[in-house]
Structure 1
């Protein structure tokens, strides 16, 4: 009897905020590593011009890899397909002794050239569809696709929202940061109204870099209360502040491979479970 292999229908999640330094890349990398450990074939799309997700997953200088395409090539070079920019995620620097390939986790290599993406997209046809068109041919190969967005609400992010069906807003606890969520919600609603078939919705508010000592606790308590009052069940388990997070980035390893029993590692596991993912049998 011939078995017909059905195509995956992935969850496509945009990790976003309108400002940089809000924990988007850290969260994309560490949520992705947990998902891969769950047995889910996971792709991280590094669309941020800082390319932090690429660095964290082993590729310190993605633009300098000879013969290797990046997401910027896919955006700007006609005929370049997204799978040409996909590389295995690594635990450790590329080429270093002891570096390992992370099973089930893949990366669309980022590029510092993405700082010019807005300028390129301004004059492009169907500019808001840029990422959807790149993802459509390959998305059936993955269970989950995480898009690490830049810290803005420009054309790159609009393209990510059009391509996604879920959005997780990553923010630091504080009044200013929580106010910024309103703009993200407005942008999601605009995308749903303007683009037929676009169905992105906010599924989670992730507070990151949460203080764990009393001197900063008041800020956190106020931010947490405000988030819960405004977003209720959308509030995901928070990620506690930990020196292991920047250390893991410096060692180019996801937390799961750098500090397996650490608090922040545990927090990201809780986030993955709160998003409804289950370990595969």
Structure 2
């Protein structure tokens, strides 16, 4: 009996030492690896995810493009919706935005079939519905419409069975367009710049999501918060990320996106980072985010 107890204690000690020496990632949690997902046997219906933050410049569009391309590379059928009048998503994917059917036409009902507005991209499996400056007038036109918060949801119902995930790149506001996106979505992914002023607005966004859940879309939930533009060299970045993890716990993705000039370079090239610089750590970070989303069940 004494020998058995000693062996048990020794094994427990080994396991404890292994846990203690396991390196921690930027979020302060032990680093995890996410396995490459198995191929899908079929496609659809899509899970709809809104990428939302009322603060601009936090990486919503970059994340939509990059994680969309990474998911497509893993065999998922992805539809990206440009829901920002600036049209950055469309430009970043190199698709035409003027003199073509777009999301504004679908919202106003001037075209009825979303397939007329869907454009393919250079990444196989990744399609996009573009937007341009016309979308800025949508809120004025929709304000008197019946069930105005649910118009995007009715548009996406016509194509959701053809895709595995639909990503909505929201504009930096909490207006009617963003409420439409939240009403249409199953989940919300919040890109959050590792900067103090970006952190301040998250509470208001969470409150808006809760109101939409209570009044318009009971099925919506927070898929997670993605730390972006992280710079491990600065104390400020580390402190902001630490506070986010303290506040939101497991809702913070383990994947963290670092700051790099490769993102604007990829935007100029109108290509996702995963194809523009496939070996760069930023490309691997978005591939890891895609694997983490699948691991969490946010994407099939």
Q: String of CA shifts for 1:165-199, please: whole Å, max 9, x gaps.
A: 0100011112221121111111111111112x541
Q: 2:86 matched to 1:50?
A: yes
Q: Note the C-alpha offset of 1:77.
A: 3.3
Alignment-derived partner of residue 194 in structure 2: 173
Q: Distance in 2 between matches of 1:121 and 1:19?
A: 23
Q: Note the C-alpha offset of 1:6.
A: 7.9
Q: CA RMSD in A?
A: 1.8
What are the ranges of 5 or more consecutive residues in structure 1 without an aligned counterpart?
91-101
Alignment-derived partner of residue 47 in structure 2: 11
| 1:33 aligned residue (53, 58, 69) | 69
Alignment-derived partner of residue 223 in structure 1: 240
Q: Note the C-alpha offset of 1:7.
A: 7.1
Q: Note the C-alpha offset of 1:122.
A: 1.3
| 2:165 aligned residue (144, 149, 154) | 144
Question: Which residues in structure 2 correspond to 1:74-89 (within 5 Å)?
Answer: 74-89=106-121
Displacement over 3 Å in runs of 4+? none
Q: Distance in 1 between matches of 2:109 and 2:92?
A: 26
Answer whether contact 2:190 2:224 (CA < 8 A) is retained.
yes
What are the ranges of 5 or more consecutive residues in structure 2 without an aligned counterpart?
1-40
SS at match of 1:151: coil
Q: String of CA shifts for 1:12-56, please: whole Å, max 9, x gaps.
A: 110010122111010000000000000001100111111111111
Alignment-derived partner of residue 93 in structure 1: none
**TM-score between both structures, scaled by the size of structure 1:** 0.87
Between Structure 1 and Structure 2, how many residues are aligned? 256
SS at match of 2:235: helix
Q: Distance in 2 between matches of 1:162 and 1:6?
A: 26
| 1:154 aligned residue (158, 171, 175) | 175
Alignment-derived partner of residue 31 in structure 2: none
SS at match of 1:167: strand
